[in-house]
Amino acid sequence: MAKVATREELIHFLQNKATDLRRKIIELSVIAGGGHLGGALSAIDILVVLYYHVLRIDPKNPRWEERDRFILSKGHGALALCPVLADRGFFPEELLSNFNRLDSPFGMHPDRNKVPGVEMSTGSLGHGLGVAIGVALSGRLDRANWRVYCLLGDGECHEGSVWEAAMAAAHYKLGNLCAIVDRNMFCIDGPTEKIMALEPFKRKWEAFGWNAIEVDGHDFAQLIEAFEGLPPVTSTVPTVVIAKTVKGKGVSFMEGVGAWHYGGLDSEKERRALEDIEKMRPKG
Amino acid sequence: MAEGISYTVYELYKDLTQTEVYGQTLVELAKKDERIVALTADLARSTKIGVFFDAFPERAFNFGVAEQNMMAAAAGFAISGKLPYVSTFAVFASMRTAEFVRTDIAYPNLPVRIIATHAGVSFGQAGTTHHCTEDLGILRTMANMTIVVPADSIETAQFVKASVDWPGPLYCRIGRGLEPLAYMEEDYGFRIGKSVLMREGQDLTVIACGVAVLPACEVADELAGEGISLRVINMHTIKPIDREAIIAAAEETGGIITVEEHNIIGGLGSAVAEVLAEEGIATKFKRLGIPDVYSVIGYPEDLYHRYGIDYEGILKAVKEMLEMKGVR
Ligand SMILES: Cc1ncc(C[n+]2csc(CCOP(=O)(O)OP(=O)(O)O)c2C)c(N)n1
């Protein structure tokens, strides 16, 4: 991790990382013979801010007691999470070359017993926030000062279990819990508002007793500010960061196109995707 | 399906997945039967019921990613005179919603048709969270439930047609991708609850379902060249199971191997073993399937091979049992 002196340098560093990782997502999807590209590209800026600035973690000691916990509730985001974990040094990047293949530790959804740095095996939607509540309550029992972060998809929030968890988090006053929703406005079959409307989304969280913040999920300054401004671990209100994102962000032919929820790239599309992504790299 | 076209049935179906055949067949049936409604949970595209959504938008309902609510609503449709076809991945159809299926659908004995796609390890690369090797065992313990595992796309079409007038709840599990056909034609007399004799034989019997039926037939054809006659039964209905076929196979061939894309506990193998034990028939017996582990990540064909439910795996098991029986 680079040493950065100023906020501008930090943002520059994170933007650069995000560009590198977007490239890796594309390349990994080619190795894997397809992948959940849309939701990987919408979530990657959030993951970069968490893994390169916010989370207190030790890649050499993945189960370090004092670490912050991160649960990828939208488990189909493994295509984005695995390259991040590799780049942060949890395991050698070469291992990803077997993605999706027989006996690989890496598939479309992360497995906590096979991939260092993965807190929970996910992939079935609507489980992660409930797991995060058990973790947060345990942290409080242990008087720990780490936090639990949990990234959800917006389509995932159709699941009733998400709202059972939301209710419990407020009930138990889990100030050490921070949920993030990748609000890219799409599930698989189309726009969330057309398939099963979620709005008024922020007010739903507020009505459930959460501190709800909306940010642009591709604006590093806003993301940093939201996480740095979290109430103390000992506070009594859980926070949800609703990150407004674009599904397929960074690749012109994927942005906002629902069908790219899951897809594969031929070499021409791969080339165009990488070309688009390179345009996001910050100058200098 | 296309009517009056001079394709052979085989040609018509060979490039269609089971899911595609399900969607298309249901659209045809729904033209004549207004009771039919279709439900999904953000998987219209993946389960291929999307064609129904295009054809009958007013009779198609997407519940978003909320399977439990969808199952409860299916029960509501059923008590209101509708015939709901519910489609999602098998892992969610059988486990996420298990108690809704049991209490809202099986217990009141309602005519809900659950079409569970991406079953077994047919979505192998998605990993264990998306594998489903428990559903037959779980659903089998729900009274009133009928369970069907079609062998291929042709049988899937036969099943969907037969499902319309079946009383009570139905659970049908199908795969994800394109698989070769086990049948050449469609008028072989498909009936829910009645197994199909795929190959006649006297030396040993393989009882298979789903994706294991075709390789079992290929093993029989291979061994026929060596003078061995292997009986192959397609046990497409797991419940109620065709007891007569099992009893006859045990008595006439003296050995049974079951093959299924499921944990060896609870599914086809268990159902066959129960019949044999209750009938007091002593016979050689082996279950092929996932050996009570969580199946690993991999492409389906690699996993079928790993767990011995493909051609090589079945051939090996058959040869071992023949040796035990002293045949050859
Ligand atoms: C319980 C459950 N139901 C269905 C699925 C299949 N599925 C995978 S991703 C997805 C859509 C999720 O949409 P969203 O949470 O918005 O994901 P994103 O757009 O961020 O990729 C669905 C329905 C699943 N993984 N788990």
A143 occurs within a structural domain: yes
Q: Do the domain assignments include residue B295?
A: yes
Cβ of B65 less than 6 Å from ligand 1: yes
For residue A40, the ligand 1 atom closest to its alpha carbon is 21
Is A260 a member of any domain? no
Question: Is A185 inside a domain boundary?
Answer: yes
What is the number of other CB atoms lying within 10 angstroms of the CB of residue B210? Answer: 32
Q: Is residue B189 in a domain?
A: no
Identify whether residues B24 and B57 lie together within a single domain: yes
B78 and B115 assigned to the same domain: yes
Domain span at B313: 196-325
Check whether residue B247 and residue B143 sit in a common domain.
Answer: no
For A199, other C-beta atoms within 10 Å of its C-beta total 10
- Asked if residue B202 is part of any domain, the answer here is yes
**How confident is the prediction for chain B on average, in pLDDT?**
96
Chain B, window 289-328: residues with a beta carbon less than 8 angstroms from a chain A beta carbon: 296-299, 302-303, 306
Give yes or no for residue A247 CB within 6 A of ligand 1. yes
Residue A220 is assigned to a structural domain of this protein = yes
Segment B318-323 shows an average pLDDT of: 98
Query: Are A158 and B126 an interchain contact pair (Cβ–Cβ within 8 Å)?
Result: no
Whether A216 maps to a domain, the answer reads yes
d(CA A68, CA A55): 6
**B263 domain-assigned:** yes
Looking up residue A170, the CATH number of its domain turns out to be 3.40.50.970
Q: Is the predicted pLDDT of residue B2 greater than 60, yes or no?
A: no
Rounded to an integer, the average pLDDT of B21-25 is: 97
| Residue B37 and residue B139 in one domain | yes
CA of A155 to the centre of ligand 1 (A): 6
B279 and B135 in a common domain: no
A182 lines ligand 1 (CB under 6 A): yes
Contact flag B299-A102 (C-beta cutoff 8 Å): yes
The pLDDT confidence band at residue B327, using thresholds 50, 70 and 90, is confident
User: Sign of dihedral through CA atoms A131, A135, A138, A140?
Assistant: negative
Residue B80 lies in a domain: yes
My answer on whether B213 and B160 are in the same domain is no
* pLDDT value of position B193: 98
Residue B328: band (very low, low, confident or very high) from pLDDT cuts 50, 70, 90: low
Position A28 scores a pLDDT of 97
Considering the domain architecture, whether residues B32 and B156 belong to the same structural domain is answered as: yes
Structural domain containing residue A111: 43-248
ipTM, two decimals:
0.94
Out of A72, A122, A125, mutate this one to test ligand 1's pocket (max ligand atoms within 8 Å of CB): namely: A125
* A106 within a domain of the structure (yes/no): yes
Same domain, B210 and B149: no
How does pLDDT run across B122-170, given as a tens digit for each residue? 999 999 999 999 999 999 999 999 999 999 999 999 999 999 999 999 9
User: From the alpha carbon of A156, which atom of ligand 1 is closest?
Assistant: 15
* Cα angle for residues B106, A124, B177 (degrees, 5° grid): 80
- Quote the tokens at residue A129: 């926030």
How many cross-chain Cβ pairs, A to B, lie less than 8 Å apart? 94
Q: Is the CB of B282 under 6 A from ligand 1?
A: no
Count of domains forming chain A: 1
Mean pLDDT along residues B60-78: 98
Overall domain count for chain B? 2
Chain B, 12 to 41: residues with Cβ < 8 Å from chain A are: 40-41
Whether residue B314 sits in one domain with residue B240: yes
Q: Whole-angstrom Cα distance, residue B289 to residue A171?
A: 45
What spacing in Å lies between the alpha carbon of A217 and ligand 1's midpoint?
19
Residue B168 is assigned to a structural domain of this protein: yes
- Are residue B27 and residue B87 in the same domain, yes or no? yes
> pLDDT value at position A3?
77
> Rounded mean pLDDT of B87-91?
98
To the nearest whole percent, how much of chain B has pLDDT over 70? 98
- Ligand 1 within 6 A of CB of A124: yes
Residues B126 and B24 in one domain: yes
Q: Is residue B167 part of a domain?
A: yes
Is the distance from CB of B117 to CB of B175 less than 8 angstroms?
A: yes
> How distant, in Å, are the alpha carbons of A64, A267, B8 from that of B184?
59, 38, 9
What is the DSSP code string of B225-275? Answer: TTT--EEEEE--EEES--HHHHHHHHHHHSEEEEEEEEETTTSHHHHHHHH
* B139 domain-assigned: yes
Select from A76, A125, A156, A199 the residue whose CB has the most chain B CBs within 10 Å, as the one to mutate to test that interface: A125
With a cut of 70, say whether residue B3 has pLDDT above it: no
Contact criterion met (CB below 8 Å) for B91 and B118: yes
pLDDT for B95-126, tens place per residue?
Answer: 999 999 999 999 999 999 999 999 999 999 99
Nearest residue of B to residue A196, measured between CA atoms: B64
Give me the pLDDT at residue B246, please. Answer: 98
Which residue positions in chain A have pLDDT lower than 50? none
Other C-beta atoms closer than 10 Å to the C-beta of B224 total 13
- 3-state helix, strand, coil split of chain A in percent (to 5) is 45, 10, 45
- Mean pLDDT value of segment B31-38: 98
Element (H, E) at B115: strand B113-117
- Note the pLDDT tens digit of each residue in B172-214: 999 999 999 999 999 999 999 999 999 999 999 999 999 999 9
CATH number of the domain bearing residue B107:
3.40.50.970
**Chain A residues with CB-CB distance to B122 below 8 A:** none
**Tens of pLDDT, residues B229-240:** 999 999 999 999
A109 contacts B129? CB cut-off 8 A: yes
Please judge whether B129 and A189 are an interchain contact, meaning their C-beta atoms are less than 8 angstroms apart.
Answer: no
* CA distances (Å), origin B206, targets B135, B217, B232, B276: 22, 9, 5, 14
Say if ligand 1 is within 6 A of residue B96 CB: yes
Per-residue pLDDT, B105: 98
Q: Give the domain CATH number at B290.
A: 3.40.50.920
